[in-house]
């Protein structure tokens, strides 16, 4: 063996002796686009911008994060854009349960299986709200008034055949009542309409009604989850989020939380998906993220891999069952 061959053999031996040296972990090589399938200012957009700030502050990705709001066709524009970007690891969908409800309600040629699940990082809570000037202090008292007057009582919510109307349908199915559902552009508008007594109730997220709750204009009857909210700091002069009972505690067996997660296009590699899952895990450990969760009364929930896939299968089935009973499924929906 000559000197040149000896040098090559030594280099090869060094490479084998240093685990990981030959194969660097994948990372983005250009700007990463976060596609928000909703308008600027909404909950998904706000979350994306908080994440953008955390990634930048803690230098979690070497490349810049660019947020693109693609809200056309009730969010279908953003979803289809990511679906059409197969194998592109520099584009990621900021997702909610609209990935289930939108295709089911519109026959959009899409399922979440067209994408690559990365991670769920939180779940949104929903609260049953009534005007504080009414006499209703529990769901049972309110629903007792609704039951003998089908469609007389108005329930407000964001858009049609999405989370708020799905919860409304679940209440109707569980309690044997019927509301007239009034769709609004957002939860803020629904809360304003409740304060003005133009509707009788809504099922807003905590953050969408916190100002009105703090001002004593609305009353929280219950939270649609299997356990109470964890946050114990007083929001009103008397109550914290943790003081709101679950709906099941109050005799209304309805629970609903909305996933907050991220999906890459289909066809990306496992290493690419793993990179973003690890970034998300670092994000949820930061004090900034924990502050954001408490401010918006979100439920902390990090999930990836097989556990996230199993969750998606079950959550999809749950939504299909509710929407089928409510008559929300479009012909040919997946």
- Using a pLDDT cut of 90, give the percent of the chain over it: 82
Strand partners, 127: 223
Identify the CATH number of the domain defined by range 127-243.
Answer: 3.40.190.10
State residue 186's pLDDT score.
83
Residues of the chain falling short of pLDDT 50: 2-22
- Chain segment 11-30, per-residue pLDDT in tens: 444 444 444 444 569 999 99
Question: Are the CB atoms for 144 and 175 separated by under 8 Å?
Answer: no
State residue 107's pLDDT score.
86
On the question of a common fold for 32-124+258-326 and 127-243, the answer reads yes
What is the domain partition of the chain in residue ranges?
Answer: 32-124+258-326, 127-243
Q: Are strands 127-131 and 218-223 parallel, antiparallel or unpaired?
A: antiparallel
C-alpha distances in angstroms, 25 versus 57, 90, 164, 325? 22, 15, 41, 47
Question: Are the CB atoms for 266 and 92 separated by under 8 Å?
Answer: no
State residue 14's pLDDT score.
45
State residue 298's pLDDT score.
94
Question: Are the CB atoms for 110 and 123 separated by under 8 Å?
Answer: no
State residue 112's pLDDT score.
97
C-alpha dihedral sign at 186, 254, 237, 287 = negative
- Chain segment 79-101, per-residue pLDDT in tens: 999 999 999 999 999 999 999 99
- Chain segment 223-238, per-residue pLDDT in tens: 999 999 999 999 999 9
| Cβ atoms within 10 Å, residue 221 | 24
State residue 5's pLDDT score.
47
Q: Write the Ramachandran bin of 9: left for phi over 0, alpha for psi from -120 to 50, otherwise beta.
A: alpha
CATH superfamily, with its number, for domain 32-124+258-326: Bordetella uptake gene, domain 1 (3.40.190.150)
pTM for this prediction: 0.84
Q: Is 72 helix (H, G, I), strand (E, B) or coil?
A: helix
- Cα–Cα distance between 109 and 4 in angstroms, integer? 59
């Amino acid at each position: 063996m000559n000197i040149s061959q000896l040098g090559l053999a030594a280099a090869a031996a060094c490479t084998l002796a240093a685990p990981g040296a030959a194969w660097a972990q994948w990372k983005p090589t250009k700007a990463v686009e976060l596609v928000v399938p909703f308008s600027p200012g909404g909950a998904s957009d706000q979350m994306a911008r908080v994440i953008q700030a955390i990634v930048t502050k803690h230098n979690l990705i070497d490349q810049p994060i660019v947020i693109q709001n693609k809200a056309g066709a009730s969010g279908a524009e953003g979803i289809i854009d990511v679906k059409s970007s197969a194998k592109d690891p520099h584009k990621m969908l900021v997702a909610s349960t609209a990935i289930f409800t939108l295709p089911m309600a519109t026959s959009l040629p899409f399922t979440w299986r067209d994408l690559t699940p990365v991670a769920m990082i939180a779940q949104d809570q929903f609260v049953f709200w009534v005007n504080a000037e009414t006499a209703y202090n529990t769901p049972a008292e309110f629903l007792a008034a609704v039951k003998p007057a089908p469609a007389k009582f108005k329930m407000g919510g964001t858009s049609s055949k999405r989370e708020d109307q799905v919860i409304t349908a679940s209440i109707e199915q569980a309690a044997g009542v019927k509301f007239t559902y009034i769709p609004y552009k957002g939860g803020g508008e629904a809360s304003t309409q409740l304060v003005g007594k133009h509707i009788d109730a809504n099922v807003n997220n905590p953050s969408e009604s916190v100002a009105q709750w703090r001002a004593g204009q609305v009353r929280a009857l219950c939270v649609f989850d299997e356990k109470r909210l964890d946050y114990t700091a007083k929001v009103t002069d008397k109550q914290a989020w943790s003081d709101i009972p679950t709906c099941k505690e109050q005799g209304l067996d309805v629970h609903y939380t909305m996933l907050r997660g991220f999906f890459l296009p289909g066809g990306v590699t496992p290493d690419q998906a793993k990179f973003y899952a690890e970034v998300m895990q670092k994000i949820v450990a930061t004090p900034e993220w924990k502050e954001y969760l408490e401010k918006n009364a979100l439920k902390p929930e990090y999930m990836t891999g097989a556990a996230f896939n199993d969750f998606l299968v079950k959550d999809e089935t749950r939504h299909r069952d509710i929407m089928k009973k409510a008559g929300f499924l479009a012909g040919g929906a997946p």
